[in-house]
Amino acid sequence: MGKITGFLEYVRQEVPERTPAERVRDWEPFRLPLPETVRQEQGGRCMNCGVPYCQSGIHWEGRTFGCPLHNLIPEWNDMIYAGNPSHALSRLLKTNNFPEFTGRVCPAPCERACICGMYGDAVTIRDNELSIIEDAFAAKTVYRRRPPQWSGKKVAVVGSGPTGLAAADQLNHRGHSVTVIEREERAGGLLTYGIPNMKLPKDVVQRRIELMTDEGVSFVTGLDASDPSVAQRLLADYDAVILCCGAERRRSLGVNTEGISSGICYGTEFLKAAVERQQFGKETTVFTAEDRDVVIIGTGDTASDCAATALRQGCRSIIQLVRRPEKDYLQNGVLPRSYAHEEVQAVFGQDPRRFGVQVKELIAENGALSAVVTTGGDTLPCGLLIAATGFEGCESAVCEAFGVSYGKTVHTAEGRFATSVEKVFSAGDMRRGQSLVVWAIAEGRTAAAEVDEYLNGYTNIVRSI
């Protein structure tokens, strides 16, 4: 351990951020790196506990505590403090394929399990992780790793989100020929289309995809595997198929929308349209928030991302309706704020959230949404209603095209990834339900181990879960 008393001597130092009033004017990242000496001190705060709960990955009462990937957190924190970036990188990549993603968008359940946080502030684990991988890319110590030989086996991965990318990366390094099938124009899935650029820059996603391509993974975009003819071709041409299509069946809005033809969309639909328009110059049929009164239903990361996106599009106002009471969200008597809530406060002078209330009725003029009536009796002007209400499970089309058994999610045996159809596997949100990016990567890595064993009769890929 590099600094035995580091957790006593150094205080937690958050990464600096551009001011909310400044950053809402553009789509650039708003978090900035710490100086190297300060980052070393942050690594030195790690206590090297006898039992490092930060890497446990426990799911308890609907929440995750510790890292599902079982990242070797005390080890690479020690290497940060010791000024040994190459060893820090090797320990980080041993368990996490894409720390540049999790270091930006993971809610850091590792920090909730940090022993240092029991009586003070947790170690800045997520920011430390991001600094390791970004410093490595900058120093060009992240380089192409191709397998020494190929197995002759072919695997198709359907879906290029974090689960599909992780499974593809693992199997490619085992020497299997991997092709990733993506129905959108660009690879990346949720990483590309579901997270705005200021949180996850699209060049970061593209950088990883280009590296995987250089290492031997093939990407085929614009191909929809829910087409039965495509599914049959994949089954015929590949030795194994992994379905990683996410949980895209949206929860119902729960309110009568009859007679309303415009002004309502779902959170991921809104975010995807914003990315396509702002990043790729593609026009979409989904409204922008420009000069509109926006009401967002729901809480969590998607709702926050929608609020931040609406601000940057030039909305007239934002109100976020949260079903549960405010007391359910208090932490030590304080209401936490996301980056988007800080931005709304800076622009409009108040937190956008209204707790314990939902939409009761919609009001339209000539088919266009104009207002919403809440369960609290308020009538709120609304030209754009965004439902960030989550997902019920996987869509049926791909499941039916491949003939796999499914309900809300694809049916597999407990702790397994094989479906009811020979040589077809499933992983990620499609198998476990809506979850975190870090769980998605863990699912992809573990599914890859099962597929590798299916193809070779054994595997040396370590299961994450």
What one-character-per-residue DSSP string does 371-402 give?
EEEETTS-EEE-SEEEE---EEE--HHHHHHH
Residue 122's CATH number? 1.10.1060.10
Residues 380 and 399 in one domain: no
In a domain, 347, yes or no: yes
- Spell out the residues 6+ positions from residue 123 whose beta carbon is closer than 8 angstroms to its own: 7, 12, 42, 45, 46, 47, 54, 73, 77, 111, 114, 116, 117
φ and ψ of 376, to 5 deg: -85, 0
382-412: burial string, b at 16+ Cβ within 10 Å, e else: bbbbbbbbbbebbbebbbebbebebeebbeb
Domain termination residue (choose one: 364, 389, 414): 389
pLDDT confidence of residue 60? 77
Give the pTM. 0.95
What's the CA angle centered on 45, arms 44 and 48, to 5 degrees?
A: 85
- What is residue 319's predicted lDDT score, i.e. its pLDDT? 98
> What is the total count of domains within the chain?
3
Q: Is residue 222 part of a domain?
A: yes
pLDDT the model gives residue 109: 93
For residues 172 and 455, is the Cβ–Cβ distance under 8 A?
A: no
pLDDT at residue 465, as a whole number: 85
From the centroid of its chain, how far is CA 375? 32
For residues 119 and 39, state if they share a domain.
yes
402 lies in the same domain as 379:
no
Say what the pLDDT of residue 283 is: 87
Where a domain ends, among 335, 369, 389? 389
pLDDT value of position 2: 66
Kindly state whether residues 11 and 67 are assigned to the same domain. yes
Does 258 map to a domain? no
Question: Is 370 in the same domain as 355?
Answer: yes
Angle at 61 between CA 55 and CA 63, to 5 degrees: 45
CATH number at residue 232: 3.50.50.60
Residue 259 within a domain: no
Q: Is 320 contained in some domain?
A: yes
Domain co-membership, 13 together with 125: yes
Tell me if 74 sits within 8 A of 49, measured CB to CB: yes
Helix axes 301-313, 339-348, angle to 10 degrees: 40
Structural domain includes residue 14: yes
- 199 in the same domain as 91: no
**238 and 274 within one domain:** no
> Is 373 among the domain residues?
yes
384 and 407 share one domain: no
Q: CA angle at residue 434 from 71 to 269, to 5 degrees?
A: 120
Please identify, among 110, 138, 166, the residue that sits at the C-terminal boundary of a domain.
138
Task: Report the distance separating Cα 212 and Cα 243, nearest Å.
Answer: 19
Q: Cβ distance 199 to 302 under 8 Å?
A: no
Distance in angstroms (rounded) separating the CA atoms of residues 181 and 164: 9
Q: Cα–Cα distance between 442 and 95 in angstroms, integer? A: 9
415 in the same domain as 294? no
Say yes or no: 165 and 115 in one domain. Answer: no
d(CA 87, CA 346): 42
Question: Would you say residue 461 lies in a domain?
Answer: no
Residue 251: the pLDDT is: 87
Mean pLDDT by runs of 10 across the 465 residues of the chain is 86 96 96 96 92 86 86 96 96 97 96 92 97 97 93 98 98 98 97 96 98 98 97 98 94 86 93 95 90 95 97 97 94 92 97 96 93 95 95 93 96 96 97 93 98 97 90
Same domain, 385 and 397: no
Question: Which residues constitute the domain of residue 344?
Answer: 264-389
**220 - beta bridge partners?**
181
